[in-house]
């Protein structure tokens, strides 16, 4: 059979599907899986022989949804929707009208809203991995937790070796940005982290990020601190993954880099501000003791994915000492 898997965005959420899809790929080698997601993310699935990555426009409109249906309806035997948003619901309906069995993820959004909006029922929710596995199980596909890391990409690893040289001392990654203010530390704290880390002559720091503003800011920081290099916007995704594979640890926010680290078996010290791992977005097989957050604030979590607003106006959740993070390293 050929299964169409829908997870159109974002980078972090697509990365969270990889351990589950990798399990499917090995368990069902005679089946074919078409994974539809936004462009430039295919590197995460390149090692899976029966998984075909289908690029979808980053700004898929309704016309594009119908075009996607026309292109894939005859190539697909069943549909599994791992996103459950208006665009994928319409595509599901079209596929169902075409006679295809359809399954969708159950996100439990109402429970998340009760926790974040009203502070009711604060308890650990199922992880996103569990929700994905449940969707596949209802489609008749079983998965397991055997995934450890993606195999090395030889060509990308060679590019990394030629560019950054042989590893000496400690290599530490730092991904300080996120889409929302509530998901990231103040700039002064991030700079303090870099300063503390680079006091060690045997430590080399690599700054990760994306977007024009982030790239320029990280470039400026790299020019100020010794043994610090920005790789933001300079590497392809497959090369970023191979550089992460060589690191000793990644310091990141509750963001995509936490999940990319998991794909190469890299230990990630993740910082959670307005969000909380109880919502279910902790990294695959990451250690609970490597999660840094303020447990003294009753208002957390105030958001599932991040927000640029604080109900108290002070973003107290972001006030975490650089020394606390470096001590965990």
* Cβ-contact 265, 148 below 8 angstroms: yes
Strand partners, 268: 250
Of 167, 172, 168, the closest CA to residue 193 belongs to 172
* Mean pLDDT for the stretch of residues 42-71: 90
User: Each residue of 267-292: pLDDT tens digit?
Assistant: 999 999 999 999 999 999 999 999 99
* Cβ-contact 152, 161 below 8 angstroms: no
Q: Report the chain's mean pLDDT, rounded to a whole number.
A: 94
- Per-residue pLDDT at 317: 96
Asked if the bond preceding 301 is cis, omega within 30° of 0, the reply is: yes
Q: Could you give the CA distance from residue 284 to residue 129 in angstroms, rounded to a whole number?
A: 8
pTM of the predicted structure, to 2 decimals: 0.94
Q: Kindly list the structural domains of the chain, giving each domain's residue range(s) and its CATH number in brackets, ordered by start.
A: 2-138 (3.40.50.2000), 154-328 (3.40.50.2000)
* Mean pLDDT for the stretch of residues 186-214: 95
Q: Is the pLDDT of residue 246 over 80?
A: yes
Q: 126: Cβ–Cβ under 8 A, 6 or more apart, which residues?
A: 108, 134, 280
User: Each residue of 69-123: pLDDT tens digit?
Assistant: 999 999 999 999 999 999 999 999 999 999 999 999 999 999 999 999 989 989 9
């Amino acid at each position: 059979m050929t299964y169409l898997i829908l997870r159109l965005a974002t980078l972090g959420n697509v990365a969270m599907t990889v351990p589950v899809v990798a399990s499917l790929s090995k368990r069902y080698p005679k089946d074919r899986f078409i994974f539809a997601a936004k462009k430039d993310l295919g590197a995460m699935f390149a090692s899976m022989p029966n998984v075909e990555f289908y690029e979808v426009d980053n700004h898929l409109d309704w016309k594009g949804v119908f075009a996607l249906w026309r292109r894939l309806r005859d190539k697909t035997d069943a549909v599994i929707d791992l996103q459950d948003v208006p665009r994928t619901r319409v595509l599901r309906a079209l596929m169902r009208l075409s006679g295809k069995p359809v399954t969708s993820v159950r996100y439990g959004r109402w429970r998340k809203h009760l926790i974040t909006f009203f502070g009711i029922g604060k308890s650990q929710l199922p992880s996103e991995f569990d929700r994905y596995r449940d969707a596949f199980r209802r489609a008749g596909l079983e998965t397991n937790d055997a995934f450890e890391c993606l195999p090395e990409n030889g060509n990308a690893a060679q590019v990394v070796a030629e560019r950054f040289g042989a590893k000496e001392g400690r290599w530490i990654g730092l991904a300080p940005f996120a889409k929302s203010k509530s998901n990231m530390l103040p700039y002064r704290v991030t700079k303090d982290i870099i300063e503390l880390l680079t006091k060690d002559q045997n430590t080399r720091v690599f700054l990760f990020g994306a977007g024009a503003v982030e790239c320029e800011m990280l470039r400026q920081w790299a020019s100020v601190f010794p043994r610090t290099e920005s790789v933001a916007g300079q590497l392809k995704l497959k090369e970023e993954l191979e550089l992460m594979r060589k690191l000793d640890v990644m310091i990141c926010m509750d963001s995509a880099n936490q999940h990319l680290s998991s794909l190469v078996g890299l230990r990630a010290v993740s910082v959670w501000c307005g969000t909380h791992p109880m919502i279910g977005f902790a990294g695959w097989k990451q250690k609970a003791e490597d999660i840094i957050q303020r447990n003294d604030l009753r208002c957390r979590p105030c958001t599932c994915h991040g927000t640029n607003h604080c109900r108290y106006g002070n973003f107290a959740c972001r006030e975490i000492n650089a020394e606390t993070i470096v001590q965990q390293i």
